[in-house]
Amino acid sequence: MSKCNEIIEKMYNHASINKLLSNIHPIELQEDLKQEMAMVLLNYDCDKLLKINKEGNIIGFTLMIIWKMGTLQRSEFNKVFKKHQDFEKAYQWMKSIEADRLDMGIVQYAKRILEDKLLIDPNEAHESMIFQKYIELRSCQKVADYFGIPRLHAFKIVKKTRQELKDKIKKMK
């Protein structure tokens, strides 16, 4: 077995890596992310990997790979979720790796507020649809392109709706 493969196997079974992955929810994502992490390391330049290991930075480097796979919109891991339209799982997963746990009661409350806006009147429905698309695409420009509206309009709607949600959630607590 090559030295690089030994390093990758060590990272695959490392307690710090497994501890981080055990906090990932939904649980089905844990093994997928671990496999993706291993694939990234296997495709990385072996000499660079050996150097990082020799400098004692391999654990931090591997943790950074996991973080980037979960948070960068252009990462393959996120593209899989977007391709399958499983945005709620992707959102839960990304939030689960942050230090503060996401209160799913608040998420459900915010979801209800957005769903209720769909029924109030056409203007409220318009705001809800734009904001929900923003949650999905994470970019006002992409929302504007998707709906064929000005970017500034999308930005104003997102800002207004975000503030409404914050205010209502504060009142809830």
- So what's the pLDDT on residue 101? 46
How would you write the pLDDT of the chain (173 residues) with one tens digit per residue?
589 899 999 998 988 888 877 776 667 677 878 888 888 898 889 999 999 999 888 988 888 888 777 666 666 666 665 444 455 555 555 555 554 444 567 777 777 888 888 788 788 888 888 888 888 787 888 888 888 889 899 999 989 988 888 888 778 76
Identify whether residues 152 and 85 lie together within a single domain: no
Domain encompassing residue 45: 3-96
The total of structural domains in the chain comes to 2
Identify whether residues 67 and 138 lie together within a single domain: no
- So what's the pLDDT on residue 100? 44
Q: Of 24, 20, 62, nearest to 40 (Cα)?
A: 62
Identify whether residues 15 and 86 lie together within a single domain: yes
Identify whether residues 86 and 161 lie together within a single domain: no
Identify whether residues 131 and 163 lie together within a single domain: yes
Question: What's the rounded Cα separation, in Å, for the pair 172 and 165?
Answer: 10
Question: What's the rounded Cα separation, in Å, for the pair 107 and 133?
Answer: 16
Question: What's the rounded Cα separation, in Å, for the pair 112 and 128?
Answer: 11
Domain end marker among 60, 77, 96:
96
Identify whether residues 116 and 91 lie together within a single domain: no
- So what's the pLDDT on residue 75? 66
Identify whether residues 70 and 138 lie together within a single domain: no
Question: What's the rounded Cα separation, in Å, for the pair 5 and 13?
Answer: 12
Beta strands in the chain (DSSP E): none
Identify whether residues 8 and 68 lie together within a single domain: yes
Identify whether residues 91 and 61 lie together within a single domain: yes
- So what's the pLDDT on residue 33? 80
